[in-house]
Amino acid sequence: MNTKVKVVIGDRLGKGQNVAKGVEAAGGEVILIPGVGADMKLADVMHREGADLGISFCGSGGAGALMAKSKYGYDVEFGLRSVDSGITAIREGKRVLGFGFLDTEELGRRITEELIKVHRR
């Protein structure tokens, strides 16, 4: 069974490199959308790539996630401010997580570890 999960990251300010490192450290495949406004491209890239999870970053933690819900119907959780809230959202079956700016390796690693656990069930 392939446990490799694909995670797309879109950050309003063109960041997300630390989260990407965490995803890779946990064994996930990462697609980091380059450039400012990347959060608004998240849904299209997820759809095109057949991604398991999308992580959107902006000040409010909602713009990219809400775009994903309205355009493709992805289950989303937004306004997230902590790693633990993201893990809870994954356990609840959410496919897109909208965070305020939280570009940390810990976030990428722990989210990916939980996503792999969920996929194994």
Domain, as residue range, for 67: 6-120
Q: What is the pTM of this model?
A: 0.94
**Is 67 domain-assigned?**
yes
**Is 99 domain-assigned?**
yes
pLDDT-derived band at 1, boundaries 50, 70, 90? very low
**Is 29 domain-assigned?**
yes
pLDDT for residue 2: 53
| CATH number of 68's domain | 3.40.1400.10
Is residue 27 within 8 Å of residue 4, measured between CB atoms? yes
Give the total number of structural domains in the chain: 1
**Is 105 domain-assigned?**
yes
Mean pLDDT of 1-25: 91
Helices of type H across the chain = 17-25, 42-49, 63-72, 83-91, 105-120
Per the prediction, the chain carries an average pLDDT of 95
**Is 1 domain-assigned?**
no
**Is 58 domain-assigned?**
yes
pLDDT for residue 3: 60
User: How far apart, in Å, do the first and last CA atoms of the chain sit?
Assistant: 12
pLDDT tens sequence across 56-102: 999 888 899 999 999 999 999 999 999 999 999 999 999 999 999 99
pLDDT-derived band at 120, boundaries 50, 70, 90? confident
pLDDT-derived band at 121, boundaries 50, 70, 90? confident
pLDDT-derived band at 25, boundaries 50, 70, 90? very high
Listing DSSP states for 10-28 in one string gives: EETTS--HHHHHHHHHTT-
